Structure 1
Amino acid sequence: MGMAKTQLNVRVDEGTARAARERALARGMSVNRYIEELVRQDTGEVGHTFVDAAADFMKQYESVFAEEFGTEKEPPREGRR
């Protein structure tokens, strides 16, 4: 997939920009890559998308979490409000 990159200037409102940054960060990817993935997903280029993978991971993680703590609630963590 070593295609040449094209510069794309997109104007979005601040809320959208913030959401894109937060979601990219949460997935451990750049905003560029995040948007690339969203477009690929929308055009159906990906079978098992990163969103599906994330959802599967969260499901597995939930059960591990429940087993470990035997509760739905998050354990209190220091310095978190």
Structure 2
Amino acid sequence: MAKTQLNVRVDEATADAARERALQRGVSMNRYIEELVLKDAGEVGQTFVEAAADFMKQYERVFAEEFGLEGGGAGGRAASTTRDGQPGT
């Protein structure tokens, strides 16, 4: 993979901390920064997936009612309800 050069400006304390952490890990500064960015991007993606799962869990019944879907979710079949939210038959 081709590499692109980035120039960043940080205060001296941040630069010293980055150098020290890279040294402790036994990697170059370039590799250390690359790992930080990749880790951060992965965490953001995981946060999105978790938020989407929570959303679907909260609104599972609404989607089932709107689109006439049966079941859904880990709990098995969704309870039948009418459009006004009352239990169905």
TM-score (norm 1): 0.52
Q: Deviations over 1:30-77 (max 9, x none)?
A: 0110000000000008xxxxxxxxxxxxxxxxxxxxxxxxxxxxxxxx
Q: 4+ residue stretches of structure 1 with deviation over 3 A?
A: none
Aligned length: 43
Q: Which has the larger radius of gyration?
A: 2
TM-score (norm 2): 0.47
Give the 5 Å matches for 1:1-81.
3-44=1-42
Amino acid at match of 2:12: E
1:10, distance to aligned residue in structure 2 (A):
0.3
5+ unaligned residues in a row in structure 1: which ranges? 46-81
CA root-mean-square deviation: 1.2
Amino acid at match of 1:34: Y
In 1: Cα distance, 2:9 partner to 2:25 partner: 22
